[in-house]
Chains A and B, each alone.
Chain A
Amino acid sequence: MTVMKKKLNKTTKSNLITYAMVVIVYIIVQLLVSGGAVSSLMKGLLVPLCVYSILAVSLNLTVGILGELSLGHAGFMCIGAFTSATFSKLTNGVIQPAGFRFFLAILVGAVFAGIFGLLIGIPVLRLKGDYLAIVTLAFGEIIKNIVNVIYLGRDSHGIHFSIKDAASLGMDADGEMIIKGPQGITGTPTDSTFTIGIVLILVTLFIVLNLVHSRSGRAIMAIRDNRIAAESVGINITKYKLMAFSISAALAGVAGVLYAHNLSTLTALPKNFGYNMSIMILVFVVLGGIGNIRGSIIAAVLLTMLPELLRGLNDFRMLIYAIVLIATMIITNNEKIMNTIRRFLPKKQAQPVKEETK
């Protein structure tokens, strides 16, 4: 049928543009780096940019596709980071080659974060709107808090665990600390590279975009658009909500793995795994367009670069960031201004994804 082909082509084309965009950016950056045109500061930002992109795309699955507000996304990232870093510390040198070990670490991070997504999702997803938002925020804070009291060590007797302090582990003198409470994990192998980050972005995109255009994805969006109608046509609400939420969590876990293996020291601070981080990811998603996967990546990259580009303005950069945030929201929600802007933009066809949730 020709119509079907048309439809298939349209979504495939849109998806291809997204993949191509990532690949092209990768090539350009690689050229710039080999040409020596990238400052070391910017080089240091490359892996974090991948981390934020993955986080934004994965949160968009919860916020845009499932239509539920989550303020605890950083918590899943935290789980992915700590479980994978622990795994890497335990198996460093044992599993060879290092690339394979890192691959396993990614799986470990994703699986643990996914399991937590499922466990948290079961009680929490019955709540709606602002209540869900505050409970997910609470979970994120709990995860960060608990990680800060974990002490884990290994010596010839095996693995020791405590939530009090390092001394109560009772380790041999030759024992090795793995997680040291608030000091976190030190000496994680730094396996993350920009190339791996880009590959992980592509994998994330592949999973999310293909999910959206499949039977399960349609069920998830149907629940978002009208829960009662979805139930009336026999959609299992709990199953698909949990599916979306735990896939989203698992992908955030992958971002956490990338984050943990970028620097050799990993600590759970309010800055990196607290609600502020969750909020920052949400900002990417909202500014990129709710439900718009490509937009999430663009917003994540631009908004991460913005404060860095404004570094010359030093103290004013975060202030400008705040003003940009407020102004964008006011402008994009003003009908008059948007109509004027739309006149200058090419017309758009209806999209199967949601632009804005009321």
Chain B
Amino acid sequence: MQFISYLINGISLGSVYAIIALGYTMVYGIAKMLNFAHGDIIMVGSYVVYIAVSSLGLNPILSVVISAIACLVLGVVIEKVAYKPLRHASKLAVLITAIGVSYFLQNVALLIFGANTKSFTSVVPAVSVKLGGITITAETIVTILACVIIMICLTLFINKTKAGHAMQAVSEDQDAAQLMGINVNATISLTFAIGSALAAVAGVLLCSAYPSLTPYTGAMPGIKAFVAAVFGGIGSIPGALIGGILLGVIEILSKAYISSQLSDAIVFGVLIVVLVVKPTGILGKVIQEKV
């Protein structure tokens, strides 16, 4: 019984990772860049909800919507200002810029909100469901549901809409997509918009479950989600889901049964084993260099 309860918690945490990882993976697929600042968008999203709920007393649902819109705008602006000028620069230059953006967001938050931990009020009502011997909180249910809904919507969006097809084309070959009349800039903006809005949602879910908010809240979940994305095969949307869930489950189970201090080491250890066995992740594509 205990085990099942841990498993559900793991899936719930994994769902949050999966939602963040989706943003990573989409941006990687389209822009071929590791957006290190993605984790900090989570933090920004959470602060927006915090202000909306605690200071302005807005309705939680409305707050989440506002937060998603704010992050969406932020994501697009970051892309236009910091990443777009570097589209043809070396990968390392883009990586360093993303790190700069990450520092920037953290320090702006530090200036506005200070370093003190804010206690985040959950946006989900504090009810729980008893099923057999297991208690499941509403947060867990909402988180898992949100992840499932987002996955379905995103898959439909990418496979059924024109914009989704454009995304696939740009991720396959940017130049060819441009020649086919696809607006590459708009497509990249759209990707950042979706990824950042998802980060806001993930942030709210994360802070509802672990209610302490600082300017550095997003960093570690961001790295973990990045690991999840690589785990599942970066660039692959089902991969992000699988990677996220696996990561969450491994983390919670190793915290419960092995050692809470070593749980991160175990998560990273599993990643290394997976990559050494399958160098492009679980669902990643293998690209052979032509001689």
Contact = CB atoms under 8 A, between A and B. Distances in A.
Interface of A: 63, 69, 123-124, 126-131, 133-135, 137-139, 141-142, 145-146, 148-149, 163, 182, 228, 275, 279, 282-283, 286-287, 290, 315-316, 318-319, 321-323, 325-326, 329-330, 332-334, 356-358
A-B pairs, 5 with minimum CB distance: A325-B100, A138-B268, A322-B103, A145-B265, A333-B89
A145 B264 contact: yes
A332 B93 contact: yes
A330 to B, nearest CB: 5
Which one of B96, B108, B269 has the greatest number of beta carbons of chain A within 10 Å? B96
Contact of B93 (A63, A123, A329): A329
B269 to A, nearest CB: 6
A330 B85 contact: yes
Nearest to B103: A322
Interface string B32-50: 0010100000000000000
Interface string B16-37: 0000000000001000001010
Given A134-B230, A283-B99, A286-B92, A142 B259 contact: no
A155 to B, nearest CB: 25
B272 A141 contact: no
A148 B264 CA distance: 12
Contact of B262 (A129, A131, A145, A330): A145
Contacts of A133: 34
Interface residues of B, dominant DSSP: helix
B90 A358 contact: yes
Given A228-B291, A322-B107, A131 B279 contact: yes
A316 to B, nearest CB: 7
Given A138-B268, A142-B268, A319-B108, A333 B93 contact: yes
B268 A325 contact: no
13 contacts: A123-B272, A126-B276, A131-B279, A135-B271, A138-B227, A141-B268, A142-B269, A282-B99, A323-B104, A325-B97, A325-B103, A326-B82, A333-B90
A82 B262 CA distance: 18
Contact of B265 (A146, A318, A323): A146
Contacts of A228: 289, 291
A334 B97 contact: no
Given A323-B104, A330-B82, A134 B99 contact: no
B261 A329 contact: no
B226 interface: yes
B279 A127 contact: yes
Contacts of B97: 325-326, 329-330
Given A326-B82, A326-B100, A135 B272 contact: yes
B190 to A, nearest CB: 23
A141 B251 CA distance: 14
Nearest to B78: A326
Contacts of B234: 130
A91 B281 CA distance: 46
A290 B90 CA distance: 11
Interface string B221-249: 00100110010001000000000000000
B272 A138 contact: yes
B118 interface: no
A329 B291 contact: no
A128 B288 CA distance: 12
A148 B262 CA distance: 9
A48 B86 CA distance: 32
Interface centre among A69, A318, A322 (most CB of B within 10 A): A322
A357 B90 contact: yes
B111 interface: yes
A131 B275 contact: yes
B99 A129 contact: no
B174 interface: no
Interface string B70-102: 000000000000100110011111111101110
B110 interface: yes
A294 to B, nearest CB: 19
B223 A290 contact: no
Contact of B111 (A126, A182, A315, A358): A315
Contacts of B104: 319, 322-323, 326
A358 B90 CA distance: 5
Given A182-B261, A228-B291, 14 more contacts: A69-B95, A123-B276, A131-B230, A135-B272, A145-B261, A283-B96, A315-B111, A319-B104, A319-B111, A323-B100, A326-B97, A326-B104, A329-B86, A358-B90
Nearest to A227: B289
A129 B91 contact: yes
Contacts of B261: 145, 148-149, 182
Contacts of B95: 69, 282
B19 to A, nearest CB: 19
Q: Which of A63, A128, A134 gathers the greatest number of chain B CB atoms within 10 Å? A: A134
B92 A290 contact: yes
A316 B259 CA distance: 39
Contacts of B271: 134-135, 138
Nearest to B265: A145
A255 to B, nearest CB: 21
Contacts of B110: 315, 318
B121 interface: no
B280 interface: yes
Contacts of A148: 261
A141 B265 contact: yes
A195 B280 CA distance: 46
Contacts of A315: 110-111
A266 B15 CA distance: 37
A200 B107 CA distance: 34
Contacts of B275: 127, 131, 134-135
A322 B101 CA distance: 7
